[in-house]
Every structure is written in structure tokens, then in C-alpha cells.
Structure 1
Amino acid sequence: MNKNQQAEFVKWFGPLLDALRELGYSGKPKEVSDTIAKNLKLNESVLDAALKSGANRFHNQVAWARQYLTWEGLLDSSERGTWKLTEKGKNTKLNQEESRKLFLKWVEINQKARKSKSSIQSIKEQEEEDPESIEIPAESTLIDVLQSLSPSGFENICKELLREHNFENVQVTGKSHDGGIDGFGILEINPFVSFKVLFQCKRYKGSVSRAQVGDFRNAMIGRAEKGIILTTGTFTNEAIKEASRDGAPQIELVDGKKLVQMFEKVELGVKPKVVYEVNLNYFQKFKD
């Protein structure tokens, strides 16, 4: 492999470690990405760029940076859904040259483990694929299935999903010219408190924009205090800010990744499967 060949996500190695230290040594993936973006003052063009699949490029690159740092033993992969620094990681800082050396080390190790693919092929794959899809291939498969449904079919599967997550009296309205509201349900917090929730379903491969979130909120006014937008795609950074804007009804955003997690949690249309990932870092010490 050309020694200059390098994936873009390598530049996030050091900032990712710094972000986790700032967050108290652990954090959710979105928290980590947001902290990196804040610390480096990244512009919207970087934060909203998408891959061919429609996934967010920046978040995907940060996820790949996390994967390499995990292989190196700097992050703990035992707790799913939370990124946590190991003792080694707490005391490690990486500049670009150190990050590059770490990257090349693991590209070589992985290339030997996957003899059918060259190092350059592996790097190109990592630029476009989600590292989680390697560990859980069903994720991309489920998204593909959901995106293949008819618009009304996707609305009805979202209705079933909300029912499984304890919503009651869930209905799909099926009305056109209704401001983008596809249905509603009742969420009971306790025997004394419950409220109406409106929802919108977007069977997207791309991103939901700030304007679309604003339009949905406008349609909610006077009808409900809470709304949910579910999509098989992603949300732009500005859409996320709009959803939680102060002084306006709050809107919950469920992107493709979270949607998959919701299906998996209640095992709706999916069956659990145990997958073991080889810890290459563990076996590396036995090669010397």
C-alpha cells in the first residue's frame, strides 16, 4: 500500500480521545461527535455531508475512528451503545503523525486477516460503510427492507413500532394536505398523566431538513404538545437544532440508526443473532 494512502477518518483519532476525556471518559456516540464538532468549530458543510448510502459522513467517520481506537485498546467495546476510554486511552493523546502510524498498523493487520481484499479496497470500503454494519449486518438489511416498503406500508409499520413501545390508541390518519402529520397516539407516563403525540414518517435515503422539521411543528400547533419524526435516513445538523429549539414544542427525532435499535429492542420483525467479533489486539501479542 502506498504509505500516503489514508482514510479521512484518521484525523478524528486525537479529537475523539480528547472529546471522551472532556465528557468524563465515556459518552454516547452522538455526544462524542457533537463534542468534536464543537471543539473544532466544524462548519455545516462538514456536518451535513452524506455518503452514497445517505448516511451522515461525519458521524460515520467518527465511528470508524472509534473502531480503530478500540482495536488499539484505547476504547472499551464491552458496553454497547456507549464509548468508554480504557485506562490506556485516558492517558493517550494522538497527533496526526501518531494517528497515521496507528492507522497503517491496523490496516496491515486487517488486510492480512482478509486476504481476499487489498489494503486500498478495505480503506475505500471504510469510507462508505458504517463500522456497526460489520458487527451487525442485519442493520443495513433492515434499513433496506424499510426503504422498500410503500409509503402507507412504512406508516403502518411505524404505527406497530409505537404500539410495541407502549403507545396506545395509535392511528394512521392517511389524510393528504394534513401538514405532514401521518398519525397520532397516546403515551401514558403514569396512571395520572398521559398526552397526545403526533408523528410523521419519512421513508428517506437522504436527510430531513430544518424546514421540514419546522413545517411539522407548525402543523402540530394547537393539536398536540409533542411530536415525533421517524425516518430511515438522517437529519441535518440544523434540523436537530430546530427540533429542540427553546420556546417551541419539542420534537423527537428518530433517524435510521435509532429506528433499527427500536425494532431490535422489541424484536419487531427481527430475530436476535449472536455475533462474535475477533479481538485482533488480543492475539497480536502472540505473534512476536
Structure 2
Amino acid sequence: MGAGVQVQERQGGDVAGQADLIAQLPPYTDLLWPTLQALIALGGSASNNELDGAVVEREGWSPEVQGILHGSGPGTEVEYRLAWARTYLKGMGLLANSRRAVWSVTKRGREVTESDIRPLLAAFTADKRRQRLNRKASAPDEQDLPPSDSSAEAESDTVYGESDDTIEWRAVLLEEILRMSSTAFERLIQRLLREAGFSSATITARGVDGGVDGIGMCQISLLSFPVAFQCKRASGSVGVGAVRDLRGAMAGRGEKGLLITTGTFTSEARAESSRDGAPPVDLIDGDRLCDLLKEHALGVRTTTRVVEDVAVQTDFFAGLESD
């Protein structure tokens, strides 16, 4: 059998294997109730990562399923569908995000039953469809989203409940980071750590994946302590092995560990990072990395805009007509 045929068969097997894994994931509409219940079990509020981890644990998805990329990445299919579930639960009035990436259960969310979910979803999607049709009628030349709500692809630019611009800049920023040379990425990480309060950041090794390892000194007020860090440029999920490897490298070098990736972490990796009795390892995924670069204005410029909401008070004019 020729090498070309072997490669073709292997690629076909990979595609079939991924399709089998994706088939194990329910659609985001079937994740509404599990997401709501997971958030309630967490005490009624949680970050994206905490909530994702809780749902993954409830559903029992394997690391292989968790690692499936959505499209070409960098996000995973699990994250994508759970983000959709959060967005729809918010639209249905069952969740609120008091600040970005922190979610809370509303009073209504605590009162609903599982049988209420489908009717609430139907009412919400019907309302969204009417809003789209109204926008299309008022601005027919404007590019609009498809009217169907049956697929998460239809509104992927609002998947995290943020503005279109917010979603776009993160995707663009991560693409830029993935395209950087190893040397430029090394400089970026050192600059970020120093801007964030490290008094030093020394690169000790360079990975074959374009990532870097190093040791830094973190300064917090009157205290300073060594931190061993690893930065991985990847579009997929980083597993528990990376956390254990960093912890092993920390011996005699750092009191804390910092693991940064442009991708995501599996739930097992997050659990291992805070395991009782083991040196702590802080995790920074791609979204958090973007936030830090924005916070410290490293390659990201933020422009504040003021928006006016103008309403005509017709009762004022009606009052002028009265004798």
C-alpha cells in the first residue's frame, strides 16, 4: 500500500473518530438545564471556567471529548456549546452576568423547573426572530444574521453575551499571538509578566511548540516570591500532564507555578492545579491572556465611547394641549 493511500486512510480515520466524539456532546439546547443546575450547586455564582468545569463534571465527558476544537479553534466544542447555553439562559431571564465572565442565577432562575425550559426557550427564540425581522425591515441593505435559531453557528459572534467587537478583538489577538515568532512571543511574555508586577522574568528553556519556560520574581507590596512559569502556544486544550510537569519543574526553583496557554485547559488540569497538599499552579487560558494584554495595553488599544439614549416624551406635548 502506498504512503499516500496510508495517509489518506489515517486522515479519514481521524475525521471519523472526531465525528464519533462530537456525537457524544448534546446540542446546547439540551445543556440549558444542566448549566442552570450546575450554577445553583456552585452557590448561585461562578466564573466561566468554574461553571464549565462543573457542567463537564456533571456530564462526565472524557478528556478526549473536552479537547475537540470548534472549527479550527482556538476554542473547544464544549466551551462553544456551554457558552451558547449561558447566553440563552441569560436571554430567558434565568441567568445574569454581573460583570464580564461572572454569572449569577436570577430569582426566576431559582424558581423554574426542568419542564419550564422548553417553553421559555421557544418564547425567547421567537422574540429574537421578530427582532431580527424588524431590523431587516428597517435596514434591508444591512447584513443580518440568519433567521434560524436551530444552530449555534447562526449567532456565533454573540456567543459569550458580549458585543460583536469584543468577540472579534479576542479572536484577532489570539491569531496574532499564534503567528508570532518564538523570539517575539518570548519578549511578549516577559513584558506582560513585568507589567503585571514581576520584578524579573528569565527564560530558561524554549519548547518545540514555540512556548517558553522560565523563572520570575513576583513582587506584591512588601513581599516577593519566586514563580516558575510555562507558556504554551496551542489552539487546543492543555491537559493534566502539563500541570504535573510544571509542578515537577518547580522543585527548588519556585514557590508557585504559573501556566499560560493561548488555548484552554481541561477540567482535569484545573482540578490538578488546585489539588490539596500540592504546590499551587495558577492557570491562564487564552481568554484571560487577552484580558491581561488589554488591561496592560500591550498591543491592544481601548477607546471609550459615550452613547446617548434619546426618548421623546409625548405626554409632555400632550400636557401643553390641555386647558
Q: In the alignment, what sits opposite 1:251? A: 281
Could you tell which deviates more after superposition, 56-65 or 102-111?
102-111
Match of 1:51 among 70, 74, 84: 70
Helix, strand or coil: the match of 1:230? Answer: strand
1:1-288 paired onto structure 2 within 5 Å: 8-52=27-71, 53-95=73-115, 97-98=118-119, 101-102=122-123, 104-105=125-126, 108-109=129-130, 111-112=132-133, 113=135, 116-120=144-148, 123-125=151-153, 131-132=159-160, 134=164, 136=166, 137-173=168-204, 182-191=213-222, 193-274=223-304
Given that 1:13 and 1:94 are in contact with CA atoms closer than 8 Å, whether structure 2 keeps it comes out as no
User: Greater CA radius of gyration, 1 or 2?
Assistant: 2
Given that 1:168 and 1:187 are in contact with CA atoms closer than 8 Å, whether structure 2 keeps it comes out as yes
| 1:152-191, Cα deviation, whole Å (9 max, x unpaired) | 21121011111111111222235679xx862221112342
Paired with 2:165 and 2:145, the residues of 1 have a C-alpha distance of 18
When the two structures are aligned, how many residues end up with a matched partner? 268
Paired with 2:37 and 2:268, the residues of 1 have a C-alpha distance of 25
Paired with 1:130 and 1:48, the residues of 2 have a C-alpha distance of 22
Given that 2:217 and 2:224 are in contact with CA atoms closer than 8 Å, whether structure 1 keeps it comes out as yes
For structure 1, the 5+ residue unaligned runs are 1-6, 278-288
Given that 2:215 and 2:253 are in contact with CA atoms closer than 8 Å, whether structure 1 keeps it comes out as no
Question: What is the CA-CA distance between 1:76 and the residue it aligns to?
Answer: 2.3
Structure 1 pair 150/77, CA: closer, same or farther in 2 (3 Å)?
same
Given that 1:10 and 1:99 are in contact with CA atoms closer than 8 Å, whether structure 2 keeps it comes out as no
- TM-score normalised by L of structure 2: 0.71
Identity %: 32
Instruction: Give the root-mean-square deviation of aligned CA atoms.
Output: 3.1
Return the letter of the residue paired with 1:14. W
Structure 1 pair 208/20, CA: closer, same or farther in 2 (3 Å)?
closer
| 1:224-270, Cα deviation, whole Å (9 max, x unpaired) | 22221211111223322333333332221111011111112222221
**Deviation above 4 Å: which 4+ runs of structure 1?**
126-130, 174-177, 274-277
- TM-score normalised by L of structure 1: 0.79
Could you tell which deviates more after superposition, 32-41 or 152-161?
32-41
Paired with 2:205 and 2:57, the residues of 1 have a C-alpha distance of 40
Helix, strand or coil: the match of 2:201? Answer: strand
Paired with 2:97 and 2:254, the residues of 1 have a C-alpha distance of 40
For structure 2, the 5+ residue unaligned runs are 1-25, 137-142, 308-323
Paired with 1:80 and 1:276, the residues of 2 have a C-alpha distance of 19
Helix, strand or coil: the match of 2:219? Answer: strand
Given that 2:226 and 2:254 are in contact with CA atoms closer than 8 Å, whether structure 1 keeps it comes out as yes
